Amino acid sequence: MALVTGAAGHVGRVFAETLAELGARVVILDLDASGCADVATSLEDSWGVDAMPCPLDLADPKAVGSVPGQVLERFSQLDILVHCAALVGTASMEGWATDFEGQSMAHWPDALQVNLTAPVALTQACANSLKLSGHGSVINVGSHLGIVGPDWQIYEGSNFSTPAAYAASKGGLVQMTRWLATTLAPDVRVNAISPGGIRRDQQDSFIDKYSQRTPLGRMANEDDLRGALAFLASDLSAYVTGQNLIVDGGYTAW
């Protein structure tokens, strides 16, 4: 049985679908209530698995603490916990996706709460259930920007930037993966997946520059992450913990 946070988003939905395809029952946790319901219905219709929508604000500590009880009441066990939820931000957030001089510290608490504190708090709340499952696996979703600094040449001429708060929170999550791995061992494995840049609606100039900077010659898509998730969620990785699996087309290999 798997719990996926941020499952109404692009990556989270693909992760939920991947786990359902493998036969897992899935709890869909997201701030978007209608999105949770839509994904749950889609999983049940497509894969015939039991899926439970769980709309919840990860910035609310009391709500986070209530999750294990809701999951166990419905499914009686928890085997896999995937942290996909993240405050990525948009250009509409003043002082977020702009040059460093213009980035506002007002967004740092929110970024750290959703991207770093909430995954740790939810893992803490679910730890006992994961231990009892006998196959406990926690998978955090980091970012290549939590590993290396941004190549600003790629952003030249584009209408967006990469916020320092996002990079710091994702870097912290990768380090917490190691901390949690040694802390929850040997009962629960904890690993991370750090995707490279994912192609969506970026400007063509940015996509071209990013692709030229990447050994495999393109940006990622969500489907590129399916295999990494299936590996870390299953007993295929039974002797793997504390690792950060980088799925970036070789971007960080230079």
Tell me the C-alpha distance between 45 and 39, whole Å.
10
Nearest alpha carbon to residue 193 among 228, 151, 167, 169? 228
Task: Give DSSP secondary structure letters for 22-49.
Answer: TT--EEEEES-HHHHHHHHHHHHHHH--
Strand partners, 83: 5, 140
Active site residue 166: yes
Nearest alpha carbon to residue 163 among 148, 177, 145? 145
CB atoms within 10 A of CB 69: 11
Return phi, psi of residue 80, to 5°. -130, 130
Measured CA distances, 29 to 48, 138, 184 (Å): 19, 15, 23
Alpha carbon distance, N-terminus to C-terminus of the chain:
38
Catalytic residue among 155, 166, 210, 251: 166
What is the Cα gyration radius of the chain?
18
Contacts with 11 (C-beta within 8 Å, 6 or more apart), sequence order:
84, 141, 195, 198, 222, 225
Give the residue numbers annotated as catalytic, written as ranges: 166
